[in-house]
A = this chain, B = another copy of it.
Amino acid sequence: MCSKELYDFGVQLGQQIATKDRTIVCGRLGGFMEAVCKGVKQSQDTFNGQTVGILPDEKAEAANSFIDIAIPTGMDIARNTIIVRTADIIIAAGGGAGTLSEIAFAWQLEKKVLCITFFDGWAKELAGRNLDNRQNGLLIPVNSIDAILKQLDNG
């Protein structure tokens, strides 16, 4: 479910968002999440403890190899809620049903979600929309790494 273009974009994104002040949280799987962690660990500014994986699995061994800190929840997909709670800002790209559930949780928890608009999937489809009347979340369209960095700097 992750094209070569999306994976390469993830690595680039990881390389550019790694700074001393930022920790990256993901869910352990391969694909886009692995790509971003790989990019982060390739950055000169990376540090031990920067990439955190909140795993569906019962054991830490299941994490991809670019995760510094593995949190095995033993809760399967219910761990998606913990990923969203842990993040200050969510970055969504592409996206099947798992990503869709995370965007929906992020909205309920009033988090800011950056929806990358140049890969097909739920991130693109929902960018700029409201999920319901509560208007307590934000699904912000972003169309470049620069736009993402600008949003991250704004907090």
Copies of this protein, total: 4
Q: Quick check: which of A4-12, A100-108, A142-150 contacts chain B, the rest being far away?
A: A100-108
Q: Could you tell me the distance between the alpha carbons of A64 and B100 in the complex, rounded to whole angstroms?
A: 29
Interface size of A in residues (CB-CB distance below 8 Å): 45
State which residues 61-105 of A face B: CB under 8 Å: 68-78, 81-82, 85-86, 95-98, 100-101, 104-105
Q: Could you tell me the distance between the alpha carbons of A47 and B50 in the complex, rounded to whole angstroms?
A: 10
Contact: B97 with A104, CB < 8 Å?
A: yes
A44 within 8 A of B: no
A60 within 8 A of B: yes
Can you spell out 16 A-B residue pairs with CB atoms less than 8 angstroms apart? Answer: A1-B132, A47-B49, A48-B50, A52-B69, A59-B85, A71-B86, A75-B82, A76-B81, A77-B81, A96-B131, A96-B132, A97-B104, A97-B132, A97-B137, A98-B104, A100-B131
